[in-house]
Structures are given as structure tokens and as C-alpha cells.
Amino acid sequence: MKHLGVAFFVLLLIQNYGIFLHVEADNGFVKTKGVQLILNGSPYYANGFNAYWMMYVASDSSQRDKVSSAFQDATKHGLRIARTWAFSDGGYRPLQDSPGSYNEQMFQGLDFVISEAKKYDIKVVLSLVNNYENFGGKKQYVDWAKGQGQSVTSEDDFFTNSVVKGYYKNHIKTVLTRRNSLTGIAYKDDPTIMAWELMNEPRCPSDKSGKTIQAWITEMASYLKSIDRNHLLEVGLEGFYGASKQPSNPNFQVGTDFITNNQIPGIDFATVHAYPDQWLPGSSDEDQLSFLNSWLNDHIQDAQKILHKPILVAEFGKSLKLSNNTQRTKLFKTVYSTIYSSASGGGAAVGGSFWQLLAAGLDNFRDGYEIILSENPSIASVIAQESQKLGRLRKMYARLRNIEKWKRAREIKSRGNNNGN
Ligand SMILES: *[C@@H]1O[C@H](CO)[C@@H](O)[C@H](O)[C@H]1NC(C)=O
């Protein structure tokens, strides 16, 4: 069975050859080609994690070892993508204390996170604002504008008020043009950053038609790309569909549409989140897993067949407040096998990042979903296995590419000899 699988896989690889043959190395930046991510000329698949707390913790130099130890733990388990916050707006120890005014100590925390990720060969996905009130979010931006006399009434004015949009654009520009105090590299030129994310889980419940969010993404994607053409960009969507595919959603609408939102120019890959325990409260584990299966497969298929873009399962998890470790492990296995079966068949899924990785000694950041790898060997081994499988996939593609390069070199050489005759 195992060998048969590998043989079949090699066949698929040979079939899919042409897709990546002509992609050249690109200075360590992750790029896309069709439904694949590409790194240094080869398809890139990676297992990952979320760690929203990193900048905050790293801004206190006495706590920085916790960030390092999380990265170290992650590397030991083969994790290669870290998604984290490049925002913290207003409130206690913020990055941005008022529009356009930044806290240098906080920025140095983020500098440390990025330089440390590089050290551990981990790519980071940086989100630029929150949908929710935690760390400020769209509510804080709207409150700032209100304080300046703007007639804004709802959090959702974040997406339309021109003063608020100006504040947010300024944040994009400030973060992207930040020069890392430790590496000397501007963020927009740093290949350690895999992608920017416009917003963590954008929602606009006041306009369920989806037009408001569609216009906002269009404007912000184009603005961000005008500053940075090196990096990939994604929206930060959970994956809820608009009217065209309503029945696939859990029982609520948030004003986004997975299809049209991800079709916007400048959006390089799609994301999907999965929290069956929150979205289907009170339902059985069986029902939740069955929802999870179709939810992920629908999005992977749509990314492949409609969007023609890669897709990252950017958040998933199961709270231990509502379940036990066995149930959680089952959910992880379901997500991982869905991702791997797509990836190994040349599909659009590129990896998954679970919510959320924590280091020991950070009890304030526990939310029921946390995983401290060293304290939870059973889930840690499931995570490590997925990393290994995706890593093997990556190596196979790279090997294949080398064989092809060698063949081409030989062809050119023999042509050269013929010409000499
Ligand atoms: C976990 O919860 C499930 C469902 O309630 C139960 O069947 C199972 O025995 C529990 N496992 C452990 C190890 O407690």
C-alpha cells in the first residue's frame, strides 16, 4: 500500500512537471505558480502554527526567551510557518497608540520575532489589523475617527469611512517600510515574511451582500501592492461563502464571500479557518467532524477549480474547555489528512496552521485552544508526522527539479558538441 502510494505519487509528479519547471529561484521569497506556493523554484508545502502573542511578549526583553523557545519547539516538530499579529491598536502597551504614532519598544518586539523566525528557518504570515476588539481592531480605528469629529456610528464604518481607511493605509505603509532594528532589512524586502494578511477574520455583518468588504479588499490590496511587490498577500478570511454557495456555510453570514473576495487582483492565495466547536455549538463530535470534512474539501476544490490559487488552512483548533485531548487529536488528524491528500495529488492545499502554539509560562495567553508541545506529547507527535509528510513532498519536488535541471544541462551540452561537429 505504502509503496504503491509513492509510485502513484511519482507518476503524478511527472504529469505535473511542466507546472514548475520554468520557475526560477526568487531570492528566498515565497511565490505562487498555479495552485502551488513556490520557494526557490520548487513547490512549497509546510506545516504551521499561530502564535498571536509573539510581538507583545518579545517587546519585554526579559520575556524574549519564550519567543525563542516557542520557535525552537516548533522547529523540532518540523513547523515552518508562523502566523502572528503585526498590529496592536490603542489600549495597554499598544504598537500604535494613536493614528500614526508608534511605540518603538513594541516594534522592536516585532523585529525580534521576525529575526528569530529567520534563525529557525520559519516563514511568517503577518496580519495587519483585527476584526475584533482584542488588540484594538476595527473598533479602535473607528473610535479614533470619532474622536476627530467623523460621523461614524458602527464598527463596520471601518470599511468605508475615508479617514479610517487613511489611518489603516498608513499602518500598512508604516509596517511594510519598517526597517528591522536587528537585521537592518526593511520588512518589505525580507524573505522571512511569507505573506501579509489584510485583516484577521474580516466580517461586515451590516452588509451581508458582501459589496462593502469586496470594495475594501480591492482598495487595500491595490494599495499594499503599490508598496510591496515582493510578498504574497491574503485577506485573512475564515471562508464563509456569499449568496452563491450559502448552504455550505454554518448557520450564519458575515458579509464575506470566499469566492469573489479571493478573486480580487493582488490576492495571491486563499485562506480558510475551521472552528466546528464554535460554529456548530451543541452538536455531536461526529457531526462536527463531518462538517469539517466538507468545509475543508469545498474550499480546497474551489481554490483549485474556481480561484486557481493555493489555499492555506490558516486557523483550526478545538478548545479543551469543551472537549478532551482525544477529541482534539481526532480533529487535527482530520484536518491534516485532508491537507495532505490534496497536496500529494498536486491540489491547492499548501498546509495548515493550528490555533495556537504557546510557550510554557505564558498562562495569560491560554484560551482553551493552546498547545504547549513539550507538555502534550500525543498531539505533538501528530503535528510532527504531518510536518514530515509535507517535508517529504517538498523534497521529492526539489529532487525532481534537480534531475530535470541536470537533464537539460546534458541536452545543452550534447547540442553544443553536435554544433562543434
Ligand atoms: C473524551 O471524550 C469522549 C466524548 O465525551 C469520551 O468518549 C472519551 O472517553 C474521553 N476520553 C478521555 C481520554 O477522557
Q: HEC string of the chain?
A: CHHHHHHHHHHHHHHHCHHHHCCCCCCCCCEEECCEEEECCEECCCCEEECCCHHHHHCCHHHHHHHHHHHHHHHHCCCCEEEEECCCECCCCCCEEECCEECHHHHHHHHHHHHHHHHCCCEEEEECCECCCCCCHHHHHHHHHHHCCCCCCCHHHHHCCHHHHHHHHHHHHHHHCCECCCCCCEHHHCCCEEEEECCECCCCCCCCCCHHHHHHHHHHHHHHHHHCCCCEEECCCCCCCCHHHHHHCCCCCCCCCHHHHHHCCCCCCEEEEECHHHHCCCCCHHHHHHHHHHHHHHHHHHHHHHHCCCEEEEEECCCCCCCCHHHHHHHHHHHHHHHHHHHHCCCCEEEEEECCECCCCCHHHCCCCCECHHHCHHHHHHHHHHHHHHHHHHHHHHHHHHHHHHHHHHHHHHHHHHHHC
Task: Report how far ligand 1's centroid is from the alpha carbon of 321 (Å).
Answer: 13
**For residue 323, which atom of ligand 1 is closest to its CA?**
2
For residue 324 and ligand 1, the question of a CB distance below 6 A is answered with yes
For residue 263 and ligand 1, the question of a CB distance below 6 A is answered with no
Cα angle 365, 112, 68 (rounded to 5 degrees) comes to 60
- pLDDT per position as a tens digit, 252-289: 889 999 999 999 999 999 999 999 999 999 999 999 99
Average pLDDT over residues 397-404: 87
User: What average pLDDT does the structure give for the chain?
Assistant: 93
For residue 284 and ligand 1, the question of a CB distance below 6 A is answered with no
Query: Phi/psi zone of residue 236: left (φ > 0), alpha (ψ -120 to 50 degrees), beta?
Result: left
| pLDDT given for residue 421 in this prediction | 43
| pLDDT given for residue 23 in this prediction | 46
List the domain range (segments joined by +) for residue 410.
2-420
| pLDDT given for residue 147 in this prediction | 97
Query: Is 133 a known active-site residue?
Result: no
If one residue of 283, 287, 324 were mutated to test the ligand 1 pocket, choosing by the most ligand atoms within 8 A of its CB, it would be 324
Residue 13 has pLDDT above 60, yes or no: no
Q: Report the chain's terminal Cα–Cα distance, integer Å.
A: 51
- pLDDT per position as a tens digit, 349-398: 999 999 999 999 999 999 999 999 999 999 999 999 999 999 999 999 98
| pLDDT given for residue 20 in this prediction | 47
Least confident of 89-103, 139-153, 234-248, 307-321: 234-248
Neighbours of 3 (CB within 10 A): 7
- pLDDT per position as a tens digit, 217-226: 999 999 999 9
Least confident of 10-19, 110-119, 286-295, 378-387: 10-19
| pLDDT given for residue 412 in this prediction | 83
| pLDDT given for residue 194 in this prediction | 98
| pLDDT given for residue 18 in this prediction | 47
Average pLDDT over residues 27-34: 95
For residue 326 and ligand 1, the question of a CB distance below 6 A is answered with yes
Place of cell 489611518: 167
Instruction: Please tell me the residue having the least CA distance from ligand 1 atom 11.
Output: 326
Task: Report how far ligand 1's centroid is from the alpha carbon of 333 (Å).
Answer: 16
Residue 416 has pLDDT above 50, yes or no: yes
Instruction: Please tell me the residue having the least CA distance from ligand 1 atom 9.
Output: 326
Query: Is 201 a known active-site residue?
Result: yes
For residue 327 and ligand 1, the question of a CB distance below 6 A is answered with yes
CATH number, domain of 195, equals 3.20.20.80
Task: Report how far ligand 1's centroid is from the alpha carbon of 232 (Å).
Answer: 41
| pLDDT given for residue 409 in this prediction | 84
Q: Which residue has the higher pLDDT, 10 or 57?
A: 57
Count of domains observed in the chain: 1
